[in-house]
Chain A
Amino acid sequence: MSGENAPVPDSQSTFGERYEVITASPLSEFSTRGGDAFAVKSRDKSAGDCYALVHHPSVPVRNEVYKTLHSKPIANLICPIERGLMNLSFEGKKVQRLVTIFGRPTGGALMGLDGKLNPRVNANRLRQNVALSILKAITALHKRGFMHRSIMPTNVYFSTPNSDEVVLGECYSMPPGYMQPFAMEPLDLAMADGTARGVGDVESDYYQMGATMQSLYFGEQLWRGRDRDSMLMARVNQGSFWALSGGREIPGALGGLIRGLTADENEERWGAEDVLDWFEGVGKPKRTTMRAWTMNRPTNFKGVAVVDRRLLAHAFARDPAEAAGFLKSIDFTSWVQMSFRDEILTDRLESLLNVKPDSGFGGMRSDDYKMVTRVCMFLHPTGPIHFKGYSFFLDGIPAMVAEAFSRDDREVLSMVVDLLDAKFLQLIGEICEIQGFKLGAQLGELRRVMPFASSKQLGKGMERVLYEMNPILPCVSQRFSNVWIGSIIQLMRALERIAGAGTTRNILLDRHLAAFCATHGMELEREFNNLAAAQHNPAKFNSLSMNFFGLLQQRCKMEALPNLTSKLVDGLAPAVKGLKNKKRREQVQIALDKSKKSGDIARISAEVNMIKVQAEDAREFAQARTLVSRLERERKKLLKKVLPNDPEAKRMGLRGSRMIALAGLVLVSFLTFF
C-alpha cells in the first residue's frame, strides 16, 4: 500500500485568517492531554484575552460539552469561543489541525506545573473564593448534564492578576478523567486505567474539588512521589483524605470541607448543598454508609494477607493468571462463606460466577480470564471491570480504544475484541445487578459495536469500533497525519490533494479510511464488501473505487475533483485494456478521456459503468468463443473431401436418381397413352 501523506491545503481557512496562533509562544499552563496551548492574536480587536488549543488528533474531544459552552458560557469556567481547522507550522513542518480558541484568564494558575504555588493562594482565599468559584462552575456544568473531571490545582486560575475571582480550566479537549493522577480521582474511578475511567458522576467532581483544595492548602502536588500501589493501600486503609495529606490535619472549617469532599464513599461525600451549608456555617452530622468492604477473614494471595475486598479484586486484576490458579485451587463456595459471612452466595450468583476447580490439564485458558473478571466484579461491584490485566469502566472504553490506536497497542485492542462478547458482558451486568448496581445503558452502547469488533472485513474491525464509539475523532490513518479529516467532505478534499501530489492507488484498502467512511457515510457496507472481494483483481478494484468515490461525491454534493478524477480514470487503464472487444474498448476510452477533465466522478461512473461494461464484455466474449469453436468444428468437417460413398452423398444421390426415374416413368406413360 502506498504510504503517501495528504498534503496540507495551500490556502488558510477563514477561521485561520481570523486568528493567528503563535506557535513560538506555547502556554504550557493551559495545555492538556488533548492539546497544546499557544498564544493567539485575533484580527478582531474587540476579542479579549484568549489562547488557542491545538488539538491532538488521537484524543477525542467532548463535542457536546463544546456545543453547550459555546452557545451559553458558564461563569468561572474557561469556555471555548470558537473552533475550526487551521494550517499551522511546527518546526518548519506544515500541518492542519483543529484549533479551539478559549477565553484566557490572565492571573496565572493557582499551582504551576512545577508544583510552585501561586503566592496569592492562602487559606483565606481558598475558603472564600476558590471553593465558591469551583462550586459555581461545576454545579452549572452538572445542571447541563456534564461532569468536569479535570479539576486539578494546575487547572484552576485567577481570572486577572489583581482579582480574587477564580476560574476553572476547560474540560472539553479530552475525555472525562483522561490520564488524571491516581490521587486526584475518587477511589473507584482511580482503580481503572488512566485512559478508561469513564464519565463518572457528580460526586467524582466534588472529590476532585476537595483533593484540589487539599493540594492547594498544603501547597504541594500531593499526587507526586508516591507509587500507585502504596497510594492505593493508604487510601483504602486510611481513607483518601489522610492518604493524600500524609497524616497531616487541616484545622478549622476548611479541614471539615475538604474531609467532606474527599470522603471515599459517594453517600458520605459532600455535595453542592453541603458545601453551601458549610458556607453558611451550618454544621451537619457526619453521614455514614453501611457498606463494608472488609472481609471477615483475610485471604492470603501471593504471600500477602488481604482483608479489603477492593484490594483483593485489585490484586487479582494485576495478576489474572495467578488469580485463576488461586481460585481453582480453593473451594470457592466455602471460601465465600468464610470470607463474607454477611453475604449469602445464592445459587444464581454461584452459577453466574462459575468458578470451577482445576481440571488438572494445567495452563491458563482464555475462559479463566473471564472467570477472574467475574470474581473481581463480585468482590468490587462499584469498581472497574478487570480483564486480562486491564481495568476500565465500560463508558471509558472509547477513550481507551482511541489511545490504544494512537500507540498502535495491539494487546489492548485484542483485549477489547475479547471483551465485546455479549454473553460475557451480560454476565458481568447480572453480577453487578445482584449486588445493586446497574450497567444497562453502558451495555446497550457496546452492543451496537459488537458485530464489528472481531470482523476482518474492510470497513469493519476495531477501526470501525474506534470511529463508531468516537464519532468526533478525525480519521487517524497515517496518510492523514498532516491533516484533520473530520468528515467525508474533508476526506474527499484530502484525497483530491493526494491525487494532485502523487498516487491514490489502493487507498481504499486503508482500514482506517474504510472504517471512517463506513461510520460517517450511510450504508456503505455493500460497497466495502465488494471492494474487499476485488482487492486481488486490480481492474475490478479500480472500477469499484471509481463507483465508490462517485457515490460519495454525489451524496456530499461536492465540487469538481479533477485530480482525483484523473487518477481514478488512469487507474481504470488496466480495466479498459482488459476489455476484449476492440470497438467497446475504443468507445469506453473516448468516453473516459472526454469526461476526465470534468472532475465529476459521479457522472463518469454513471456514464461509464465499468463493472457493467466488464460483465457485458466478458459475457459477449464467452459467446464469441463458443461461436468460434462451433465454426471451427464445422470448418474441419467441411474440409474433408466428399466421396460418393459418404452417407449424405449416397442418400442424396439415390433420392435424386429415384426422382429422375419417376419423372421418366411419368413421361413415358403420358407419351404412351395420350
Chain B
Amino acid sequence: MAKRKKSPGIPKRRRPPSEASGFAPLLLIGLTALALFSIDAAIIMVIGIVPTIVLGFTGKGEHKAERLQCVGFSNVGGVIPFIPQAMSRGWEFMIGDIINIVLMFGSAAIGYALVYVGPMVAAFILQGLNQDRLKKIAQQRQALVDAWSHEVLGDKEDEAVPAQTGFIRKQN
C-alpha cells in the first residue's frame, strides 16, 4: 500500500506565551469586597482607577503585566487617601472637586513615569556592572596568558612581534 501523502496543511501559528497577571482578578475581588463594605468607597475607587482600567484593556506588547501592575499600584496608591472621605461624605462630593480627580489620575501618571524611567535607570546600572565584569575578564585572561603564553589565545608569540614593533616596509 502506498503511503498517503501528508497534506502540507496550514502551519499552526503558535501563540506567544500569555503574560499571566493576577492583577485584574485581584482588583475585581478588592472592588467587590470594598463595595460590600462601602458602596461610596467602591465607586470612588472605580472612578479613580480609570487610567489603569483603560491601560488594562488597551495595553499591548512585551512586559504588559509589569507595566499594568506598575501603573495600577501607583494609581491605587493615589486613590486610597480619598476613600475615608468618600465613605464619610459620599462619592458625589468627592468627584465634585476637580482637584481630587487630577490627584487620582496624576498618581497613574506617576506610574507611567516609573514605567518610562525604570529601564533607563536599569540600563545605567547594568552598564556599570558590565564594566566591573570586563575588568575581571581581563584579569582572568591575563592570568591564563601568564600561565600558558599567548598560544592559549590561539595565536603564536612569533607572529605578534612584527605587529608590536610596528615594522613598516620601505617602498623603493
Interface residues in A646-674 (C-beta closer than 8 Å to B): 646-658, 660-662, 664-665, 667-669, 671-673
Verify B121–A583 contact, CB threshold 8 A.
no
Instruction: Knowing A625-B152, A656-B122, A661-B111, say if A635 contacts B144 (CB, 8 Å).
Output: no
Q: Are A638 and B80 in contact (CB under 8 A)?
A: no
Stretch binding the partner chain, chosen from A154-162, A233-241, A306-314, A626-634: A626-634
Contact of A668 among B63, B67, B81, B114 (CB under 8 A): B81
Chain B residues within 8 Å of chain A by Cβ, number? 47
| Given A653-B118, A657-B115, A658-B66: A668 and B126 interface contact (C-beta under 8 Å) | no
What's the nearest-Cβ distance from chain B to residue A157, in Å? 76
Query: Which residues of chain B are within 8 angstroms of A643 by Cβ–Cβ distance?
Result: 123
How distant is the Cα of A658 from the Cα of B115 in the complex, in angstroms?
A: 8
Q: Is the CB of B137 within 8 A of A624?
A: no
Select from chain B the residue with minimum beta-carbon distance to A585: B149
Q: Give min CB distance, A143 to chain B, whole Å.
A: 75
- B28 adjacent to chain A (CB < 8 Å): no
Q: Specify which chain B residues have a CB less than 8 angstroms from the CB of A632 in the assembled complex.
A: 141
Q: Are the CB atoms of A660 and B114 closer together than 8 Å?
A: yes
Indicate if the CB atoms of B77 and A631 lie closer than 8 Å.
Answer: no
Q: Which of A624, A653, A665 contacts B122 (CB 8 A)?
A: A653
Question: Cβ of A644: which chain B residues have Cβ within 8 Å of it?
Answer: 119-120, 122-123
Chain B hits for A661, CB < 8 A: 69-74, 77, 111, 114
Q: Is the CB of A582 within 8 A of B149?
A: yes
Closest chain A residue to B130, Cβ basis:
A638
A-contacting residues, B123-153, CB 8 Å: 123-127, 130, 133-134, 137-138, 140-141, 144, 146-149, 151-153
Q: Is the CB of B63 within 8 A of A651?
A: yes
Interface core residue of B80, B123, B154 (most chain A CB under 10 Å): B123
Is B76 in the interface zone, CB < 8 Å from A? yes
> Measured between alpha carbons, how far is A397 from B133 in the docked complex, in Å?
78
- Interface set of B (CB-CB < 8 Å, partner A): 62-63, 66-67, 69-74, 76-78, 80-81, 83-84, 111, 114-115, 117-127, 130, 133-134, 137-138, 140-141, 144, 146-149, 151-154
17 contacts between A and B (CB under 8 A): A580-B152, A581-B148, A621-B152, A628-B152, A631-B141, A634-B133, A642-B123, A650-B63, A651-B63, A652-B125, A654-B66, A654-B118, A661-B69, A661-B74, A661-B77, A662-B69, A668-B78
User: Known pairs A635-B134, A654-B70. 18 more at Cβ < 8 A?
Assistant: A624-B152, A625-B152, A625-B154, A638-B130, A642-B123, A642-B127, A651-B66, A653-B118, A653-B122, A653-B123, A654-B63, A656-B122, A657-B115, A661-B74, A662-B69, A668-B81, A669-B77, A669-B80
A residues near B (Cβ < 8 Å) are 580-583, 621, 624-625, 627-628, 631-632, 634-635, 638-639, 641-658, 660-662, 664-665, 667-669, 671-673
